[in-house]
Structure formats: C-alpha cells, structure tokens
Structure 1
Amino acid sequence: MTYRRNIIAPLAAAIALAFAPLGAVHAADTVAAPQVSAAPAHQALLKIADQYYDAVARFDPVGATENGDNRFDNQLGLSISPAKRAVQFKAYRQFAQRLHAIARDQLDDKDRINYDILQYELNGLIAMERFPEHLLPISQMDNIPVTLANYAGGEGSQPLGTVKEYDAYLSRLAQLPVWIDQAIANMRVGIKQGITQPKALMISALPQFQKLVSATPEASIYYTPITKLPAAFSDADKQRLSAAYRKTINDKLMPALVRLSTFLEKEYLPACRTSTGLGALPDGAAWYQARVANATTTTLTPDEIHAIGLKEVARIQSQFAVLGPKLGYDGAPAGLPVWVAAQPKFFPFKTEEEVQAVFHKLNDVLDTKLPQMFTLQPKAKLDLRLEPELSRATASDHYTAPAGDGSRPGVFWSVVNDPTKYGSTGMTTLFLHEGKPGHHFHIALMQELNLPNFRKYGGNNAFTEGWALYAETLGKEMGLFDDPAQYFGHLNDEMLRAVRLVVDTGMHAKGWTREQSIQYMQDTLGYTDYAKSETERYMAWPGQALGYKVGSLKIQELRKRAETALGAKFSLPAFHAVVLDDGTVPLALLEQKVDRWIAAQQ
C-alpha cells in the first residue's frame, strides 16, 4: 500500500531527497555568496523556490503530473540522459549558492520553514549525484512506458477530456521512443559497469513490456483515448486525432516497444545480477545509506532501523497473543496471520463491486466521525476507484493526489485481482491510510495551502507515509476496531510496516537474499504470493518502505509528549492542525514545530 507520488517512486536522482542537517550547506556551495539585504530577502527566497521547482518539473515532467501539476503534461522529459542529468545537478548547486546568499535570520517564521526545506532538498539532491540511478531506468514497480499506458484510460494523473489534453498525451507518446532508446543505452552501460537490476525483478517486469506490444495500432493500449473520444469534439478534431494517434503508434511507438521488449528479454535479463540488495553494487553501502536518509529524514543507520523493526515485531506479536482467542485462535501468536489467511469467513467477496461497497460504506461512516478529530480538512473530494487492469498484477492499493487546480479529486485506488482472495480484515485500516484521514487529509490539504510549488507538489516520505500510518491508529479511538477482525487487520498492517524495517535493511545492508526476505515475511505475516511482490518492491525501491514506521513512531512520540506536557489543555484537533498546517516537513522540523506549539499552549 502506498501513496503513488513522485517522491516515493524515484525514476531519477532529481527526486531522491537525502537527509542533511537543517541549516547546513555543503562547503562547495558557500563560495563567493554575497549576503542579500533584509528588504528583498522574502522576494529573493520565493524567486529561488519557484525557479527551483520549475527546473525540477521540467527535468521530470511526468513526476510533476503524478504530483498533481498538469502544466507540463505535453512533455516527457529525458531525466535519464547523462547530459541532462549533469545540467540538472549543476543547476542544483547554483540554487544552493543563491539560497545561502539570503540572510535566513531576516526571514519570518513561514519563510524560514521554506528556506530550511529548500536547503534540505538541495543538499539531498546534490548528495545523490554520485549514485548512477539513471542506469536503472526500469523496474517492475516503476517505468515510463507503463506509467503512460496507465494514463491512457483517462482516469490517472494525466487528464484526457479536452482536445488540448488529447494533444498533450499524443505529444508524450511521440517522445516515448527517444526515452526508450536512452533507457536501452543506459542499461547497456550498466551491464558494462556491473550496475543492473536483480534478475528476479526483470522476470517480473518483462510481461508488462510484452503486453505493451500490439499487432495493430488500434489494439494498442495507447490508442485507448481514441476509443473514448468525447462526443463534444468536432468531427474534424476526431478525424485528426484518430489519424495522428494511429500514425504515431504505428510508425514510432510500436517499433520502439518491440526494441525494448526484445532487449529486455534477449540482452538485459541474461546479464542481470543474481544478488539481491543495493549493497551488492559498486558504492552500494553509501548509496543505500543515502536512500535511507531520503526515506526517513533522519541520520538513523540501517543497523539501528533493523533493530527498531525487530523490537516492533515483538511488540505486535505480544498483542496478537491477546487478540487471537477473541478470533477463535489458540495457537502461537506468530501463527495468527497464517491462521486468519486460511479462514474462509475473512474472504467473503465474490465481485469487485462487493469490495467497493465496503469502502464506500466506510467512507460514509468516517464523514460522521472525523469532524471530532479534525478542524482542518481539505476541500477536495475523495473518489474511490478500481486499479486499471494493466497494472493490477504488480500494483498495491494506493492514493493519487487531486489536481492542483481542483479539476480532479483525490483518488483511492483499490487493487482487486481476484475478489474471492481479497481479505476483509485489512479494509478499515487500509482506507484510513490511503483515503482519509491518511493521505487525502495530508496531500489534498497541501494543495490548498498557500505554499510555494516546490512544497505544494513535493515532500518527503517519512512525513507522508508516517502521517498515513499514524492515521491508521486513530481507528481505535473512533471505535472502528471494536470488531476483533478489523483490529487484527490493523495490527497485521502495522506488522507489515515493522517487518519492512527488518527485510529492507536485511536485503540492502545485511546481505539477506530475496528468498530470505520472502521466507521471513511468510513466517511473520502469513503472506504467500504477497511476500514475493512486497519483497521485490523493496528490492526495486531501496529504503522507500522505511519512512512509514519511522515517521509514524515520531508523530506518536510527539503526540504523547504534548499530551503529557499539556494535560487537560491538550486538544487533539489542534495537535492534528499543527502537524498538518504547514504541509510536509522533515521530521526534525516537525519536532521543532510541535515543541514550539507545546510551549505556546503552556
């Protein structure tokens, strides 16, 4: 389960935000930086921030689309090109120099937050330059051809409702062959340098690319928009668009997709590494540590996170011991997930519609309960939809952001491959995380705050996923976990996040194999096929899954600190507003914010 946003599924170093101490800059970025006088400091900061964001969005326009910014929907970008990558990193260093020239102590509180977060992002981006992420442009979780294919139905982040939007998508299709050829070139360099994806990931990814190849343009998934042409389009536009899509797909896109599929099968897959973790690659230990910093916004080491994970697994298993008998289970606590997974009563669905009906009912119940906990809520609506068929096999339930202009709601996507195998126990906690008050209350609200674009459309994983995991815990206070089966679902999902700390660090820092991770997940969580797809997700996105638990534990720690310090003065809606009202911030900054709020209340 994940919020599908650019920062969480990095395709290039442009979106890998590694940790650097707030208030620090790299020595190389401090040369000859004249101090800006107090008067224009605010304007200078906002100018740098806007120019920085536009540079990132133009470098990775698909990422901007995913984040709800549709200004660049006609551009594909070529962020995986070594030449463009070099230009971008040079720009980051220049932005860092310009930022350092601003007198931070002459900014107000809001601008200081903007300053600190921008500095944090720039430091992290610059730190990632040494790691050749562009040599790994494709995985089963994350690649441009499948992303564009998922837009084809008009239900994804890229809108398809006007002639201009149809032309924008067509423009991207026309640029895709260049991206594909660059990706192939990069992977060939990766083969020579010993920097490839693990073979298991490409075995999982290959069917996606084979499905993208079609016998005729009309049979292509990329032709789907033409099968859904709005009636309001003029006949001339319908004819022009149909002909243009057909020609682009037939003449440019299909040959490129054949090249990619053939390359992956015949050349890349045989050359892929048999090792599992990022630590097995050249400079891999440092690469993984940078990714850990990115995901957690902390200086925690992989060993420290591994230990936290083991401690959390033990804590949750002790709760399983109490819960098991209430469900009719009297075995060892560690065996409860396996037992639940074997009970037919927890798999009651026959159709996709039955699954969706449960989520719709839960959505209605939350509308009555959340106002007692939140005075700060987004205006944007939340839609509930099924994941498109192409990506169901490898997707997890997830959330996508509303459009920045309010034209598209936030969406909770449920992934139902086989309704009879869709477990009912985890549905409440899932919706609290992916829907509301999890990702929707945070991400949609962030679109509505008066923030610079780099914050409105950006962020970090520890806050984003930490908030959503914290939001799950609120189900107990709302009485949503009075049903032992639903409380088991919550604990089991918490266990998943704890297990992630163990297996992610295990594979990438401690030499665990893919098979060890799968076995540990099966033993601890009772998963079967899911253990494989989850393990391979962590292999494809090193460190990404660590932010959930680290961020959630920090928010819970801060709430407890506030409750203890304020006693009867503590207000839960006010605490939630403090956490959310500045959008996404690194965890160190969040802690400072909450501490200031506590002091002000006292």
Structure 2
Amino acid sequence: MKTYLVGLSVIFILTACNKKSETQEQGNSIIKLADVYYQRVLESYPEYAYYLDEDLGRHDQISSNDLLKVEEWERFEDSLYLKLREIDESIITEKKNRITYWLLKEELESNKAMRVCKRNLWNVNHRSGWQSKWLSLINFQPVGSEELREQALTRWNTFPDYVATEIKNLKKGVALGYTMPKEIVKLVIDQMQVLQDYTIKESPFMSPAKRDGDEDFVAEWKALVDEKMLPAIANYQKYLSDEYLKVAREEVSILNIPNGAECYQAQIRSYTTSGITGNEIFELGSKIVKNNKTKVIELGKELYKSDNFNEIVKLVEEDSLDYFKTSDEILETNIQLLENAKKESEKWFAVMPSKEVTIKPYEPHEAGRGSYEGATKDKPAYFRINLQNPEKQQKGSNEILTYHEAYPGHHLQRGIERDIVGLHPISKMISFGSYVEGWARYSEQLAEEMNLYKNRSALIKRRTWPSRGMVVDPALHLKGWTKEQVMNFMMESGTTKESALSLYHRIIIWPAQLTSYDVGGEEIKSLRKRAESKLGDDFDVREFHSEVLKNGSIPLSALRISIDDWIDKKSSKL
C-alpha cells in the first residue's frame, strides 16, 4: 500500500511539473510572438515609434502604401496568427502572458477581418487619410544636426511618390467598385486647397526648417516643399476634382461597396472588440435613448417645470445661469472640479495614478472643446480645456467633460495603466477604443453616483447624447436613414447643426467608430450589475474598479473573462 501511495505521489508531482513546464513554454511562446510583432511594426511602420516613446536609430523611413507591401504585411500577420493558434489559452496563468495573448489575438483577428473592406482602395478621408499621417509626422521629424537633416530630406523626398501611389490605389479601387462618397471627396478637395493656400513661410510642412534654422538646410527644405511636395498635393487634388469626384458614389452607406455588409460587421468588431451586430447595437441604443429621455423629462419637471423633452433641451441651452462669464472663471472652475474629483475618487478606487494631470488651456491657434493627453517620459498628463468664448460654454457640459477626460475618466484609467509593471511593450501599441472610451462613458455615470455634479443641468445633458451614436451609425449604414434623419436625431439631443454635420461625416468615414463609446460603457455597466447580483453584500465597488482597470486596455471579450474569473473566485470563498 505504501509503495502504491508513493507511486501516486510521484505521478502527481510529475504531472504538476509537466503542467508547469507546459504553461511556461506557452508563456514563452506568446512573448516571442509579441516580440516579433512589435519589432516588425516598428520596421514596417516606423512613424509609430514617435507615439510609443521608442527611440529610432534612424528617421529616414516611413510605412509604404504600395499594395504589394500591404499584401506582404498581411502574409506576415497570417503566419504569426497560425503560430498563435497553436497556443492553448486555457493553460496560460501568468497575468502578463494572458494580457499579451488577448492583445495579439484581437489585433490579428480584427485586422484579418477588416481586409474585406479594402480600405487602401478608397482612402479619401479628411480626418485620418494619408495627409493626416504626414502632417502629424512633420512635427516629430528630428533635426538639429547634419545627419538628422540628411535623414529628414531622405524621408520627405519620398512624399511625391507616396501621393502618386495613393492616386494609383484609388484608380484600382474605382475599377473594382470601391469609392468614397462624393460628400467626403469634396471635403478632401477643400482640405488640399487649404494646404496649398498657405504661404511657404507659414506652411505646416516648413516645421523642420523652422526648428533647425541652418541656412542651407532651410533653403533646401523650402525648395523641397515648393517644388515637390506642394505640386504632389496639387496633382492629388486635380485627380480628385477632375476624375474621382465624377465616379465617387452618391450613397453614403457602407453597404454600397462590394461586400459592404461583411465590411460593416468587421468594422464593428474592430471598434467594439465584441461579437455584437449592427442590428443589436441599434436596438440597444434605441432602448437606452428612450430610457434617458424619460429620465430627462423627470429632471426637467423639477428644474424647468416642463415635461416636454424638446422644450427641456431648449431650456437647458437657453439657461443664462449655466454659461461662463469669463475665461478666468472657466479656468478657476476646472481647477476646483479637478481637485474635488480627485479627492472623491480616492474613496471609490483602491489605486490611483502616480502621475498628476495638469490643466493646459488650448493656445489661441489651436482648436478643441476639450481632450486628454497622456503622460510620456518627456511631459506630464494634460487635461486640455478651451478658454475662448466663455459666454458660449456651459458649466454643466464642462463638468461632464472634466469627469470624462480626467477623474474618474481617462486620466485615472490611463494613468493606472501606465503604472502597471511588467506588461509587454505591445500594450503601448495596441489599445481598444471600446475599453478606453467605454470607461470614460461609464465614468460620466459614476460621477453622478459620486455626487460630483454641482449643476443640475449636467444631469440632463449627460443623458441627452449618450447611446445616440449607437442608433445613428447603424441607422445610416443598415436602416436606410437619410442625412436629414440622422442629423435631426442628433440635434434633438441639443447638438448643434455644425457638430451634427461633423458627426455625420465621421460616421461615413469611420463606420461603427461612434458606437464604440457606448458599447464599451454599457458592457462595463453590465459587468458591474452582474457582479452586484452574484456577490450581493460582498460586492465592493473599489474592488470591482480595480479588476476592470488592472490589466490596462484589453478587448471587451477579454474583460468579461477577467471579471467572470474574479466573480467565480470571490464567490467560491463565500
């Protein structure tokens, strides 16, 4: 009997050792694949390095838009994904390896699904088209030494060929039935004209020369801009005006390109990191909007003695007491809001970011309603606010913005993420809007639980817009809604006609992107309700928040796995 028990013990030990060894082997495999992916991205898309705080050895290359190079990249992704599929996710136990697996799996699967859209063939886009990449890159381009000047000239001398390739790609797209709607094409034509209307001295493309100052380099760079870059832009504009606009589609729904339905679902997957469908998004959004309108009417009766939704929205917009009087008042209010929100957040979160967030008003030449800029090794985190035209800025809207962008929203989430130790570098490269913006949307509601809102109008305004993006996006692409219907639905919330038009254009160029905010926010709310229901009195909101935030930006599908694991472990101890 003793011999038998000893034998069982040996078998158990060997099995445990084998399992540990296999787990370690799988973990090592994930890290190796992530290393390969990270390095290949930096080699193929070197401009990404500037956003990742990565030091590039050279600054003379840029990613290619040649379709053969695109196909080469896709083959690389496919080969990597085949190796990833050999890994058994169920035996991955180490936190950093699980997160790395989730990130890589979602990125590769989403990218593969998106190929059906063939976006390189209809990349006419006024917000994130090829010109946006170059205009952003111009301010990163290092200069200041002979070597750096040579590298800058090498990189930017490729600009004309890059633009010519864009035209070539669009022509192929036209032949295969892929075009951008005329309305967007006209915006890009106008944008190209703006770039040409600058004097050479004021052109944004002159940034490297201005920052360097060397006379010979300034002269050479000026010639590059004047004789090569601006003519390339003019050629692109001419092609759009003379040829492309005539064949561009009238219909704005993505269903009007080949495989449009599959493309829209791929877009949904890419932006929401979930398996939800467009119709499901539309139905959920419609339900939430209806519930929000009911609550708005309830608040409107109390605040404005009205039970008509449209009238309440109008009364909020016309409430003179809700507007700022001076720029100083905006700044002082935001300083106080930020201080109060941070102090109160300490009661709702077990962990806080190590980095502070600093208010940084937009400069007069900048534009923006408000935004968050994460900290880097060279600068702190910034909450950007607009001090211009205070008489047009509402206090209630300002509160919502603060809690969305700073505490308990973006800064708290991204600040905590930045402090996580041991994550693979791809966690800086791969991020998911449905998680990041979903958390910020959840934070708008959480701020109400935290009693942060001081203006009653904010309680109304924070309910008038949310989830409308879930309605209008699939409504435009799947339900046949007209431009007028989409804009009216958005303006019903108090959104200006100008903003509604901008959002309408955004839905066209980025199908499904507008849904990611509330799909993510609703998922976090759903997971919290699930935890509250299963854990009862043992539910701790601070602990829940820690579980949601502890892995950084991950796909919603992975977030559900993580929260369910936490619920199960906590339940087993009850």
State the TM-score bracket (shorter-chain normalisation).
0.7 to 0.9
Matched, 1:497 2:483: no
| 2:368 aligned with 1:398 | no
* Residues in 2 aligned to 1:343 and 1:228: alpha-carbon distance in whole angstroms: 47
Of residues 304-313 and 52-61 in structure 1, the stretch that sits farther from structure 2 once superposed is 52-61
Give the corresponding residue for 2:349: 374
Q: Offset at 1:391?
A: 7.4
CA distance in 2, matches of 1:285, 1:300: 14
1:39 & 1:591 partners in 2: Cα distance? Answer: 25
Change (3 A) 1:257 1:270: same
Q: CA separation in 1, counterparts of 2:480 and 2:313? A: 27
Deviation at 1:82, TM superposition (A): 0.8
CA distance in structure 2 between the aligned counterparts of 1:239 and 1:319, rounded to whole angstroms: 64
* Worse-matched range after superposition: 278-287 or 132-141: 132-141
Letter in 1 for 2:36: Q
Provide closer, same or farther for how the CA distance between residues 169 and 365 of structure 1 changes in structure 2, counting only shifts above 3 A. Answer: farther
Greater shift after overlay, 372-381 or 293-302?
A: 372-381
Please, which of 282, 285, 297 is the counterpart of residue 261 of structure 2? 285
The CA deviation at 1:259 is 2.0
Aligned to 2:37: 52
Q: Does 1:412 align with 2:383?
A: yes
- Contact in 1 for aligned 2:141/2:208 (Cα 8 Å): no
Aligned CA distance change for structure 1 residues 518 and 573 (closer, same or farther; 3 Å): same
Instruction: Tell whether the 8 Å contact from 2:114 to 2:270 is kept in structure 1 after alignment.
Output: no
Deviations 1:62-88 (A, max 9, x none): 455445556489366345321111001
Q: SS of the counterpart of 1:273?
A: coil
For 1:106-255, what aligned pairs fall within 5 Å after superposition? 106-110=91-95, 111-149=97-135, 158=140, 173-214=156-197, 216-227=199-210, 238-239=214-215, 241-255=217-231
**Aligned residue identity for 2:564:** D
Q: What displacement does 1:90 show?
A: 0.1
- Structure 1 partner of 2:532: 563
CA distance in 1, matches of 2:171, 2:325: 46
Distance in 1 between the 2:162 and 2:388 partners? Answer: 30
Structure 1 residue 38: Cα displacement:
5.7
Structure 1 vs Structure 2 CA RMSD: 3.1
Contact 1:226 1:242 in 2 (8 A): yes
Find the partner of 2:445 among 467, 473, 484. Answer: 473
Change (3 A) 1:215 1:134: same
Q: CA deviation at 1:415?
A: 6.0
Q: For 1:543 and 1:123, how far apart are their aligned partners in 2?
A: 17
* CA–CA separation in structure 2 for the residues paired with 1:176 and 1:399: 31
SS at match of 1:426: helix
CA distance in 2, matches of 1:133, 1:396: 30
Q: In 2, are the aligned partners of 1:145 and 1:176 still within 8 Å (CA)? A: no
Deviation larger for 251-260 or 261-270: 261-270
- Note if 1:527 corresponds to 2:493: no
Tell me the SS of whatever aligns to 1:129: helix
Change (3 A) 1:541 1:378: same
What is the aligned-residue identity percentage?
A: 24
| Unaligned residue ranges in structure 2 (runs of 5+) | 1-20
Q: Please give the alpha-carbon distance, in whole angstroms, between the structure 1 residues aligned to 2:407 and 2:61.
A: 32
Q: CA deviation at 1:334?
A: 3.8
Contact 1:76–1:176, Cα closer than 8 Å, also in 2: no
Q: Distance in 1 between matches of 2:176 and 2:391?
A: 46
Contact 1:135 1:189 in 2 (8 A): yes
**In structure 1, what is the Cα distance between the partners aligned to 2:270 and 2:283?**
19
Q: CA deviation at 1:194?
A: 2.8
Residues 86-125 of structure 1: matches in 2 within 5 Å? 86-110=71-95, 111-125=97-111
Does the aligned pair in 2 maintain the 1:150–1:390 contact within 8 Å? no
CA contact (8 A) 1:397 1:415 kept: yes
Tell me how far apart the structure 2 counterparts of residues 444 and 568 of structure 1 sit (CA, whole Å).
Answer: 30
How far apart, in 2, do the equivalents of 1:297 and 1:368 lie?
33
User: Does the CA-based 8 Å contact 2:362-2:384 persist in structure 1?
Assistant: yes
- Give the one of 424, 430, 439 matched to 2:395: 424
1:263-412 residue pairs with structure 2 within 5 A?
A: 263-349=239-325, 351=327, 355-386=330-361, 392=367, 397-403=370-376, 406-412=377-383
1:457 aligns with 2:429: yes
| Per-residue deviation, residues 42-101 of structure 1 (Å, max 9, x unmatched) | 322211112112323443344554455564893663453211110011001110122233
Q: Distance in 2 between matches of 1:576 and 1:311?
A: 26
Aligned mates of 2:481, 2:58 — CA distance in 1: 41
Distance 2:516 2:551 in 1: 19
Is the counterpart of residue 41 in structure 1 residue 15 in structure 2? no
Instruction: Check 1:178–1:436 CA distance in 2 against 1; reply closer, same or farther (3 A cut).
Output: farther
Deviation at 1:448, TM superposition (A): 3.4
Q: Superposition pairs for residues 564-579 of structure 1, below 5 Å?
A: 564-579=533-548
Q: 1:72 to 1:562 in 2, by over 3 A?
A: farther
Alpha-carbon deviations, 1:306-343, whole Å to 9, x = none? 11111011100011111113432515124422332234
Pick closer, same or farther for the CA change 1:217–1:397 going to 2, 3 Å.
same
Partners of 2:33 and 2:80 within 8 A in 1: yes
Query: Secondary structure at 2:553's aligned position in 1?
Result: coil
Q: Measure, in 2, the Cα distance between the counterparts of 1:50 and 1:244.
A: 39
Q: Kindly tell me: are residues 491 and 38 of structure 1, through their superposed partners in 2, closer, same or farther at Cα, counting changes over 3 Å? A: closer
The CA distance in 2 between the partners of 1:300 and 1:376, in whole Å, is 32
Contact 1:538-1:545 at 8 Å conserved across structures: yes
More helix per residue: 2
Residues 243 and 355 of structure 1, relative CA distance in 2, 3 Å threshold: farther
For residue 306 of structure 2, give the secondary structure of its aligned residue in structure 1.
coil
Using the alignment, how far apart are the partners of 1:271 and 1:257 within structure 2? 20
Indicate the SS of the match to 1:209.
helix
2:550 match = 581
Question: What SS does structure 1 have at the residue aligned with 2:490?
Answer: helix
Structure 2 equivalent of residue 435 of structure 1? 406
Equivalent of 1:445 in 413, 416, 430? 416
> Deviation of residue 225 (structure 1)?
4.9
The 8 Å contact of residues 81 and 134 in structure 1, kept in 2 or not, is answered as no
**Distance apart, 1:226 and its partner CA:** 4.3
TM-score by length of 2: 0.86
Does the residue aligned with 1:317 lie in a helix, a strand or coil? Answer: helix
Aligned to 1:28: none
CA distance 1:374–1:89, shift in 2 (3 Å): same
Residues 402, 409 of structure 1: 8 Å contact kept = yes
The separation in 2 between residues aligned to 1:381 and 1:364, in whole angstroms, is: 11
Q: Report the equivalent of 1:24.
A: none
Using structure 1 for the length normalisation, give the TM-score. 0.82
